[in-house]
């Protein structure tokens, strides 16, 4: 009987999860992007895309090389599938097309578009210093060194690499006409047509050596933060007629529906930078003369190694400049919404226990890991579906579905921040530092924590405007409370020490 009960519970959990990820979503209205996180929790999480690529986020990386494309010139005898999935126009690509020069081999899967409307030709997802372009093309690749296909890679932290191409309205583009001339065959949702292969390279800018690079996410649900983004600096052009083919010739509704809904303005709004930086492969150009060069990977690795096993007293005395973000980049800590939400709820002790329950599945698997690049999560590459299932199950047991987004942020952010930092695509967040030293219950850890708290306070006074930017949920860096300070006799406790009760209950 007990076995039957457990089996039934497991079936119900999987069924609920499957239904959850078939939820309807749109860009506007009741199922619009402001409600995505209700059904797709990672859409409210960290390292989300797109972003506004502001000059102050840029760091020049002299080691970035031109993108290398392989087998992009397809034969006309090879047929591709052009489809309307209700959210975009999508073209299938053969996996023998691949990218090299990245940490892994990434094989092509598909390309698709985001655009504005006939009246407003402004629909790119990424912005550059506040400028939105007419449209944006994404060529999606998956890590074929480690995963068999796109569906297996999509929820892994190293699963995807996407080439982003900004699109302007200008002169006629013959490469785009290779598939746009078939667009009347996919006017309605779920319609598909076969198109002959062509040279996909011709869709890209001439210069593949100038681009922006950062760690981000899918820009549509389920929004997994699994994408290595490469956005080319130079936009390409299509004619006004070609743009109208996208903006006014297709519908997001099915052919049998009485009211046809135009498919346009299918772009997500820019997301928070979450302490990320944007690497650039170029240094010349307007507004780029003051762009800083990124700190070398070796220096970053040495710093993390110092936090893991080195003398923390030395860092507290002399090495704080390496830990604190340079310039006006302020540290991000626990999400203020989490604090506000708990203040509105019942007894504080209930939410302390609830937080433990939500984080419990990951606590069991965390060991005394001293390897650079891992914070001790159970898999080599973060599997976001696995994390989501575990946290979802805990939240449902406690009838607290509203806390799923916050719990996932707490679990995922330190790992992504550290990996991105080691890859030179993020500043090291102070909360991640505290996460790393949580396994070191020594006086040195206390000394470093106190020094960081004081230095962070000085940084906030020096750059007060950075902490008050509209829409940026920053909080001051608070040291361990007296009850939370590591001590040799103290158990390991919370896996995320910056969320201890003394800090997030107030």
Among the options 35, 39, 87, 341, which is catalytic? Answer: 87
Q: How far is CA 452 from the centre of its chain?
A: 27
Residues 137 and 112: their CA atoms lie apart, in Å, by: 6
The token pair that represents 257 in the structure block: 């529906």
Residues 123 and 269: their CA atoms lie apart, in Å, by: 10
Backbone angles phi, psi at 212, to 5 degrees: -105, 145
The token pair that represents 119 in the structure block: 């009246």
Burial class (CB in 10 A: 0-12, 13-18, 19+), 187: middle
User: How far from each other are the two terminal CA atoms of the chain, in whole angstroms?
Assistant: 45
Q: How far is CA 504 from the centre of its chain?
A: 25
Residues 414 and 301: their CA atoms lie apart, in Å, by: 16
The token pair that represents 373 in the structure block: 């690049």
Residues 425 and 57: their CA atoms lie apart, in Å, by: 10
Integer CA distances (angstroms), 127 to 49, 196, 281, 328, 473, in order: 11, 33, 18, 21, 21
Is 87 considered catalytic here? yes
| Residue 350, helix vs strand vs coil | helix
Residues 313 and 56: their CA atoms lie apart, in Å, by: 32
β-sheet bridge partners, residue 60: 280, 293
Write out the DSSP string of 157-208: TTSEEEEEEEEEE-S--TTTHHHHTTGGGG-STT-EEEEE--BGGGGS-S-S
Residues assigned a catalytic role: 87
């Amino acid at each position: 009987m007990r076995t039957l009960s457990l089996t039934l519970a497991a079936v119900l959990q999987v069924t609920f999860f499957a239904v959850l990820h078939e939820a309807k979503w749109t860009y506007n209205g009741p199922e619009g992007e402001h409600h995505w996180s209700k059904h797709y929790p990672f859409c409210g999480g960290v390292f989300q895309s797109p972003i506004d690529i502001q000059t102050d986020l840029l760091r020049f990386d002299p080691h970035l090389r031109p993108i290398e494309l392989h087998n992009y010139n397809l034969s006309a005898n090879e047929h591709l599938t052009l489809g309307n999935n209700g959210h975009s126009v999508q073209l299938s690509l053969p996996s023998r097309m691949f990218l090299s020069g990245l940490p892994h081999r990434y094989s092509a899967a598909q390309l698709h578009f985001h655009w504005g409307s006939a009246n407003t030709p402004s629909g790119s997802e990424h912005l550059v210093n506040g400028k939105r372009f007419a449209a944006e093309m994404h060529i999606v690749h998956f890590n074929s060194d480690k995963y068999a296909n796109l569906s297996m890679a999509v929820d892994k932290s190293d699963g995807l690499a996407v080439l982003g191409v900004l699109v302007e309205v200008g002169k006629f583009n013959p490469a785009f006409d290779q598939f746009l001339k078939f667009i009347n065959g996919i006017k309605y949702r779920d319609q598909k047509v076969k198109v002959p292969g062509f040279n996909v390279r011709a869709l890209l800018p001439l210069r593949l050596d100038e681009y922006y690079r950062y760690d981000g996410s899918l820009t549509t649900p389920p929004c997994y933060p699994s994408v290595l983004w490469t956005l080319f600096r130079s936009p390409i052009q299509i004619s006004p007629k070609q743009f109208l083919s996208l903006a006014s010739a297709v519908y997001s509704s099915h052919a049998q529906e009485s009211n046809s809904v135009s498919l346009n303005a299918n772009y997500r709004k820019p997301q928070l930078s979450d302490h990320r930086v944007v690497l650039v492969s170029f240094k010349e150009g307007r507004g780029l003369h003051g762009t800083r060069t990124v700190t070398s990977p070796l220096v970053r690795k040495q710093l993390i190694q110092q936090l893991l096993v080195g003398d923390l007293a030395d860092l507290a005395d002399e090495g704080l400049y390496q830990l604190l973000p340079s310039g006006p980049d302020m540290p991000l800590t626990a999400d203020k919404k989490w604090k506000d939400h708990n203040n509105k709820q019942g007894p504080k002790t209930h939410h302390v226990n609830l937080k433990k329950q939500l984080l419990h599945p990951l606590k069991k698997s965390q060991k005394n890991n001293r390897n650079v690049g891992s914070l001790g999560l159970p898999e080599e590459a973060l599997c976001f579906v696995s994390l989501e299932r575990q946290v979802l199950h805990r939240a449902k047991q406690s009838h607290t579905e509203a806390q799923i987004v916050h719990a996932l942020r707490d679990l995922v952010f330190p790992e992504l921040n550290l990996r991105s930092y080691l890859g030179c695509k993020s500043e090291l967040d102070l909360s991640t530092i505290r996460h790393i030293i949580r396994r070191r219950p020594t006086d040195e850890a206390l000394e470093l924590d106190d020094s960081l708290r004081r230095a962070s306070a000085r940084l906030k006074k020096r750059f007060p405007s950075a902490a008050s930017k509209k829409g940026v949920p920053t909080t001051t860096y608070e040291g361990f409370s007296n009850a939370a300070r590591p001590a040799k006799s103290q158990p390991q406790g919370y896996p995320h020490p910056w969320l201890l009760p003394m800090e997030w209950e107030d």
